Amino acid sequence: MGTMDAMKVLLCSSEVAPYAKTGGLADVSSALPAELNRQGLSCSVVMPLYREILNMKLPLKPVGEIAVLTGAGITEARIYSHGTSYFIAHPLFSDRTGLYSYAGHDYPDNLERFAFFSRACVEMIRLMGDIDIVHCNDWQTALVLAYIKDAGIDHVGSLFTIHNLAYQGIFDAILWSMLFLPHEYFHHDCMEFFGRINVMKAGLVFADAVNTVSPTYAAEIQTEEFGSGLEGMLRAISDKLSGITNGIDTDIWNPARDSLIARCYEPSDMGGKRECKHALLEKFSLPVDDGPVFGIIGRLVEQKGIDCVLDAIPSIAALNAKIVVLGNGNPAFERRLKELQNASPSSVGLHIGFDETRAHAIEAGSDFFLMPSRFEPCGLNQMISMRYGTIPIVTGVGGLRDTVVALGESGVPFGLRVASPESQAVVETISEACRIYREEPGLLNAMISTGMEQDVSWTKPAQQYSLIYRNLKNLKERSR
């Protein structure tokens, strides 16, 4: 007590940009700690050392060795560091490609892999000795909190963040013994879920505080419609549950200084945006003209309303507009996209895959960004779009409600709302977007500049996290 030492936070995550990324969790796991460190905290991150990271040939520094209990007995793992990031090295991560799956199928030993990683995180906390707060994210690191509890480590405050409730880490009960956790945890008030193991529930039960990545999603997940079966438990822990809207990394996503786009631009000089649009059309083999362009980037899954967009594509072509799609995921969606591109090659640009450079090109070169999600914990792409002067077209769920003021709603608008995640509604909003684009340049430009002015940085969200950490630390100190 009474020292001026910075609060020490260890953030445990299964993906951290730029080392390994499949979605928004990786962005958060890198940008939030960076901002917390700027604000005077001492925050490090720990993640598995995937083969992809080994292939990067980074100058990794050996930090130490730990012994970790696994299904196969005690195994040794090495810890490496790179800046403020730590990596747990073990063949479970480095002897295969991909983070969680291969060719669309989850690895069957994911429970073992992330139980191992979670145990390793706890060993690291012991090794470091001076951690005040452990911050776990999604099911892959939820077990950290069960192991901390089980080990009787009670001086470390804990926060669990739900980035997506749709992935809970559900496994067959037969694997329970592999977790080396007390039998009584396999109970429906704890980690049991309809006869199976639910790893995320460990996070909800054992964390001192729980949050999700927007206030609206925090409320939504307490309802049957969005709760994925956990609404009851989430209502039961509502006293320790809050919502903090994500930010974006405004150094990486900055149209005024982005080396991945054709020409930089900013609110006072938007000339570059037209060049970016032309470069985008060229990159995606589309005819170069000044008609409206709709962009979409993301995992090709139902959550994102991709099926609605697919059904809307013929209408986009009929409206003389263009759409550029970047993503991968559900093979059926990938196939249909290819068919639609073949049917309208001058309206549909497509790249199946994960590609940072193309993502920047689409954010900068599109006029509108489509995100008709069925549910959206926070969503980063709509905020990136705003910053790039690309008008977000979004449904009204989760973080999309919290971050976008749409035309016709109270406040100064900078986005368009899709009434529901249905293709008809998507088509209607797209037609409205084309009309505004062609007939109301004044409104269009006002929306663009309002969007670009929004504060989408991590400054405020990091302050909110910092406050939670501080409260948890005080709580621990008082109960000592």
Residues at the site binding ligand ADP, with contacts judged by CB under 6 A: 23-24, 27, 297-299, 326-328, 354-356, 359, 378-381
C-alpha to C-alpha distance for 251 and 258, rounded to whole angstroms: 9
C-alpha to C-alpha distance for 382 and 403, rounded to whole angstroms: 8
Which of 297/323 has CB closer to ligand ADP?
Answer: 297
Q: Find where tokens 């608008």 sit.
A: 413
Compute the least distance from the CB of residue 45 to ligand ADP, in Å. 17
Question: Which segments within 105-258 are labelled E, that is strand?
Answer: 105-106, 133-137, 157-162, 170-171, 192-193, 196-198, 209-212, 241-243
How many other CB atoms sit within 10 Å of the CB of residue 113? 20
C-alpha to C-alpha distance for 152 and 245, rounded to whole angstroms: 32
- Dihedral sign of CA atoms 361, 364, 367, 372 in order: positive
**What contacts 400, CB < 8 A, 6 or more positions away?**
371, 373, 376, 379, 382, 392, 394
Which of 157/379 has CB closer to ligand ADP?
Answer: 379
Which of 21/417 has CB closer to ligand ADP?
Answer: 21
C-alpha to C-alpha distance for 480 and 474, rounded to whole angstroms: 10
Residue 266, Cβ density class (10 Å: 0-12 exposed, 13-18 middle, ≥19 buried):
middle
Compute the least distance from the CB of residue 155 to ligand ADP, in Å. 33
Compute the least distance from the CB of residue 192 to ligand ADP, in Å. 27
Which of 380/436 has CB closer to ligand ADP?
Answer: 380
User: Which single residue brings its beta carbon nearest to ligand ADP?
Assistant: 24
Which of 100/354 has CB closer to ligand ADP?
Answer: 354
Amino acid at 354: F
Report which DSSP code applies to 187: S
Compute the least distance from the CB of residue 2 to ligand ADP, in Å. 40
Compute the least distance from the CB of residue 57 to ligand ADP, in Å. 22
* Nearest by Cα to 217 from 205, 230, 206, 207: 230
Compute the least distance from the CB of residue 462 to ligand ADP, in Å. 17
Which of 247/327 has CB closer to ligand ADP?
Answer: 327
DSSP per-residue codes, 374-385: S--SS-SHHHHH
Compute the least distance from the CB of residue 80 to ligand ADP, in Å. 25
- Distances 84 to 43, 406, 419 between C-alpha atoms, Å: 8, 39, 43
Compute the least distance from the CB of residue 23 to ligand ADP, in Å. 3
